[in-house]
Amino acid sequence: MRIYGDGSLIHQAVSDDGLIEVVDSGNIRSLHFGTFPRQSSMRLNQPHYLELSYTQAMMGCLLLNPNPQRVLVIGLGGGSLVKFLLHHFPDCYVDVVEYRRDVVDVAQSFFQVPIDNPNLNINLGDGYLYVNQCFYQTDFSYDLILVDAYDQNGMAASVGVQAFFDACSGILTDNGVLSINLWGSERALFNSTMERINDSFQQRAMILPVENKGNVIALATKFNVENAYLKKLRQQVNNLEMMYQVNLPRSLQNLIRQNRNFIHRLFAI
């Protein structure tokens, strides 16, 4: 067992898709794809807690849809979002699309992803192909679509094209929300991706920068949010935070500040 930064390497494997490493540092277990940045992290004594700030920000979508019944997660990683959803929404059905079989195996073996949970369905494949199949060949619809499709080289190219966001919009319910993790420091790619999301969602995309990180979460809705909803949300946000512990009051504040013109138009603040 060798030392990896300030932690201990407990698993290492190589496949055609690349290197996977699992590192323990005290109470925190992390997934790496051959680089030092963490792809996922888990508290060993609280596996369902969202340890990384960008995953907490992704769940800012609960501000807009607080009671999801069916969720699509594209990109499993260590399964942080999946475990959070299954813990807090035990009646919710969660479909996952993950390209790498070895990632699924590691998520089960080292990150306590309960693949035998009847509400969890893991599909091996490409997220773009999956949403297009759902849109054109099925009647599936989702309350939330969470996209975190990264490897050691960056975001998977297929989940950044216009047709992907068109299909995401098409398979969301009327109160559905897309939450996608983007890398804000790659300015040209970020801007073009946001343009595509806005095109697919009729200019209803908002940004939620992750504090002290390069990540920016984009939230896009199928609906306009009325002023009465926002007032109700402000009254409830602290209660929601007590349940979920994902910094929702801060996310709401950041959403309003970062998207002032958009929020003004939708919420009539």
Measured between alpha carbons, how far is 102 from 77 in angstroms, rounded to an integer?
10
Residue 138's alpha-carbon distances to 10, 35, 72, 134, in angstroms, are 41, 38, 14, 5
Residue 116: active-site member: no
Identify the active-site residue in 95, 148, 151, 174.
148
Active site residues: 148
